[in-house]
Structure 1
């Protein structure tokens, strides 16, 4: 079974995650085949201070 993992900053609503799951499932089935029932998606909410990019934490103010 295909597994899609989505890591993003916390704050999305259940409705947003539901819409994302639907869109990702549709895109995967259209591009890679399979059935929607076989697709698994895991959402991981990450606090901004636990994610860094470009040497800065996501919670750091923009310069």
Structure 2
């Protein structure tokens, strides 16, 4: 049973997340041969206050 975690900054719509889960599931199923019913996708959303690039928080940019 494949488990996939997608970490991304908050701000996507429910529709975008729904499409992401569908497409990731399809890709994993196609490439590994795992049945779609066995593919688990976790979305972990991070606050822009808790994420930094090049020494700056994303929320400060």
Global fold match (TM > 0.5): yes
Matches within 5 A, 1:23-42: 23-42=23-42
Hey, which of these two has a bigger chunk of helix by percent?
A: 2
Q: Displacement of 1:55 after TM fit?
A: 2.3
Structure 1, unaligned stretches of length 5 or more? none
Gaps of 5+ in 2: none
Instruction: Determine the structure 1 residue equivalent to 2:16.
Output: 16
State how many pairs are aligned: 61
| 1:5-62: CA deviation from partner (whole Å, max 9, x where unpaired) | 011111111111110011001111111111000000111111111012222211122x
* RMSD across aligned positions (CA): 1.0
TM-score by length of 2: 0.88
Q: What is the TM-score of this pair, normalised by structure 1?
A: 0.85
Task: Provide the C-alpha distance between the structure 1 equivalents of 2:60 and 2:32, rounded to a whole number of angstroms.
Answer: 38
Give the Cα separation in 2 of the matches to 1:56 and 1:39. Answer: 35
